[in-house]
Amino acid sequence: MLKRKGLLLVVSGPSGAGKGTICKALLNSNENLKLSVSVTTRKSREGEVEGVNYYFIDNEKFNQLVEADELLEYAHVYGNFYGTPKEKVIENLEKGNDVILEIEMKGAMQVRERYPEGVFIFTLPPSLEELKNRIVGRGTETPEEIHKRLSSAYDEIKLIDNYDYFVINEEVATAVETIENIIKCEKNKVERYRDVILEKFEEEL
């Protein structure tokens, strides 16, 4: 067996595509896949465990991480900071574990800049119908407003161009299988592992 470095999988996509559900199922069935634990300046809530749900840090420490370029991505949400610590991720990858990041699209683009060798996966809803039904069902929007909402959902979908793979979430089990296939497949990419391969054969000369 070749010793191969792990993959950083970045799973993102428009809201409503179900990326959270997919990632949870994926983690449940794949032991070698690790979820990256974020740092946050938010207060810990009851039941949350340090190092499991989050690493809880203060603003000063957070700023230090940002300035030292120690975060793969970060965001400011409702008065608190959230970020993905680079060190832990890299540690896991070096050990040969694959790491998964389930993040918003802006965060995914920050990761792409800092770690372009990641595998960027875009989850999609099977159609816009559900969203349409939900808006129409409320009966509070005019046809123009409905069209505007759908257009902006479509605009989010156009961000697909920033990703390597797409996964249509028709059924969670199928979506999970597709991502498992992507992982296997990326482990046979010449671009990633040509050095490992050539070294292995060179040793035999």
Quote the least distance from Cβ 121 to a second copy, whole Å: 9
Task: Give the one residue of 3, 45, 116, 201 binding a second copy; rule: CB under 8 A.
Answer: 201
* Residue 144 in the binding site for a second copy (CB under 8 A): no
Quote the least distance from Cβ 177 to a second copy, whole Å: 9
Q: Environment class of residue 189 by beta-carbon count within 10 Å: exposed (0-12), middle (13-18) or buried (19+)?
A: exposed
Please tell me the distance from the alpha carbon of residue 170 to that of residue 175, in angstroms, as a whole number.
7
Nearest-CA neighbor of 82 among 114, 117, 112, 106? 106
Nearest-CA neighbor of 110 among 79, 83, 78, 81? 83
Quote the least distance from Cβ 35 to a second copy, whole Å: 22
Please tell me the distance from the alpha carbon of residue 22 to that of residue 102, in angstroms, as a whole number.
10
Quote the least distance from Cβ 28 to a second copy, whole Å: 21
By C-beta, is 67 or 129 nearer to a second copy?
129
* Residue 185 in the binding site for a second copy (CB under 8 A): yes
* Residue 181 in the binding site for a second copy (CB under 8 A): yes
CB atoms within 10 A of CB 7: 22
Point out which span in 53-61, 65-73, 107-115, 180-188 binds a second copy (CB under 8 A): 180-188
| Residue appearing with tokens 């770690």 | 115
Please tell me the distance from the alpha carbon of residue 197 to that of residue 159, in angstroms, as a whole number.
35
Instruction: Looking at residues 66 to 125 of the shown chain, list those that interact with a second copy (rule: CB under 8 A).
Output: 122, 124
Point out which span in 65-73, 97-105, 134-142, 149-157 binds a second copy (CB under 8 A): 149-157
Nearest-CA neighbor of 20 among 106, 111, 108, 123? 123
Q: Given the rule CB under 8 A, which residues bind a second copy?
A: 2, 122, 124, 127-129, 132, 147, 150-151, 154, 157-158, 160-161, 163-168, 178, 181-182, 184-186, 188-191, 193-194, 197-198, 201-202, 204-205
